[in-house]
Amino acid sequence: MFTLVWTPEAKSAYDALKAEASLALRRQKKKAKSLKNEGLFKQIHKTLTLLASNPKHSGLQTHEYRSLLHPYNPGQKVFEAYAQNQTPGAYRIFWCYGPGKQQTTLIAVTSHP
C-alpha cells in the first residue's frame, strides 16, 4: 500500500469535485440514476484507491507524462493515470513517486488537456 501525498492544487481540485458530488446527491433524492458530478467523483475516488494499492494496476493505464516536472526531483518521472476514458474532457490524475518510500504524490486531478 502507498500513502497518498497531496499537492495543494490536487487537494483543492479533489475537494471541489467532492463538494459538487455531495451537492448533487442532496438535490437528487429519490432518483434512480446518479448525476454526472456524483459519477465523476466515484470514478476519481476509485482511481485513487487503485493508485494507493498498486500504481501499476492495469485499469489505471498509467504511463509517463513528460510535460510536468517532478516536484521533489526534476530528474524523476511524472505519471498520468486515467480516471475516465473515451469521454470528452476525460479526467486524469498526474502523480509521482515520493517524497518518501511507499508514498505517491498527487500533482493534479484535472480534465485531459
**Are 46 and 60 contacting, i.e. CB atoms less than 8 angstroms apart?**
no
- The CA-based dihedral angle spanning residues 85, 42, 4, 6, taken in that order and rounded to the nearest 10 degrees: 90
Record the cell numbers describing residue 18, joined without a space: 467532492
Reported as a single tens digit per residue, the pLDDT across 80-102 is 999 998 888 899 999 999 999 99
Reported as a single tens digit per residue, the pLDDT across 14-69 is 999 998 888 766 555 555 555 677 888 999 999 999 999 999 999 999 999 999 99
For 3-111, the fitting CATH number among 3.40.50.300, 3.40.630.10, 3.30.2310.20, 1.10.599.10 is 3.30.2310.20
**pTM for this prediction:** 0.87
| Strand partners of residue 64 | 79
Which helix (H) or strand (E) element contains residue 5?
strand 3-6
DSSP state of 90: -
